Amino acid sequence: MPMSFDISPSQASSCSHCVVRHSGICGALSEQQLEYLVSHTRTGLYSPGAQVFGDETAITSYASVVSGVIKLLKVLEDGRQQVVGLKFAPDFIGRVFATDNRLYAEAASPVQLCHIPRPVMERLLQQSRPLERRLMAEILRELDEAREWMVTLGQKSAAERVASFLHLIALHVRPDAAGCLGAVTYELPLTRGDIADFLGLSIETVSRQLTELRRCDIISIVNKRQVTIPDMVSLRRRCG
């Protein structure tokens, strides 16, 4: 089992101007459906490490990330764990058309979620084909990302993995950064331990590779978390 701080989410009452309105799946809904959804939504706040969904538990609700980062992880009996996905706002979380979860969802940073009760989501999915399409698009993107990451896990060296991770986060923060010439700066949403679990490396190796990248002026880091990438092209060259 992953470390579970068991911080129960602060439950707020339904928020009419919840960010879910602007989120991924909600552009697919009519005014009326959106009204229905929002009136059945609950906001949850989670501290880093708090468990949002459990493995092998019944699915009672889905969620949409309002802010922060969620890590999806799988755990082996002996405690080894692998982060198999990261969820940023406005991603949707949950296995639709299934009855139970197959992984843990944990807050990586402070997270705000909009919880959607399962029956509500199922009713909307039944009604709205655009919603189903939107969801399908998101799942296909998840599949692409998972396969991309399989290449990193299976083929790349530690140095390349760490570079690929920094690159991945940069693209999430600044989606147009791919061809961007200017510097990109962001706050790392994961601890070294989380990064290690994501990359299939040890904490020490992650740390060493970050140091090496800093030594080569590919990145600079202040306060352990604030990352600046002066040149995305140089970083990309290190991704393998």
Partner DNA sequence: CGAGACATTGAATTGCCTCAAGATTAGTGG
Partner DNA sequence: CCACTAATCTTGAGGCAATTCAATGTCTCG
223 binds, options a second copy, DNA, none, Cβ within 5 to 8 A by partner type = DNA
Q: Which stretch binds DNA (CB under 7 A): 21-29, 32-40, 101-109, 195-203?
A: 195-203
Which of 1, 3, 22, 136 contacts a second copy by CB under 8 A? 136
**Residue 200 touches a second copy, criterion: CB under 8 A:** yes
**Residue 208 touches a second copy, criterion: CB under 8 A:** no
Which of 74, 95, 192, 236 contacts DNA by CB under 7 A? 192
**Residue 201 touches DNA, criterion: CB under 7 A:** yes
Cβ closer to DNA: 153 or 168?
153
Query: 3-state secondary structure string, the chain?
Result: CCCCCCCCCEEECCCCCCHHHHCHHHHHCCHHHHHHHHHCCEEEEECCCCEEECCCCECCEEEEEEECEEEEEEECCCCCEEEEEEEECCCEECCCCCCECCCEEEECCCEEEEEEEHHHHHHHHHHCHHHHHHHHHHHHHHHHHHHHHHHHHHHCCHHHHHHHHHHHHHHHHCHHHHHCCCCEEEECCCCHHHHHHHHCCCHHHHHHHHHHHHHCCCCEEECCCEEEECCHHHHHHCCC
Residues binding a second copy: number (CB under 8 A)? 38
Binding mask 94-113 for a second copy (x = CB under 8 A): -xxxx---xx----------
Which of 13, 31, 76, 179 contacts a second copy by CB under 8 A? 76
82 binds, options DNA, a second copy, none, Cβ within 5 to 8 A by partner type = a second copy
Q: Which stretch binds DNA (CB under 7 A): 17-25, 35-43, 118-126, 204-212?
A: 204-212
CA 220 to chain centre: 23
Q: Which residues sit at the interface with DNA, rule CB under 7 A?
A: 49, 157-159, 191-193, 200-208, 210-211, 221, 223-225
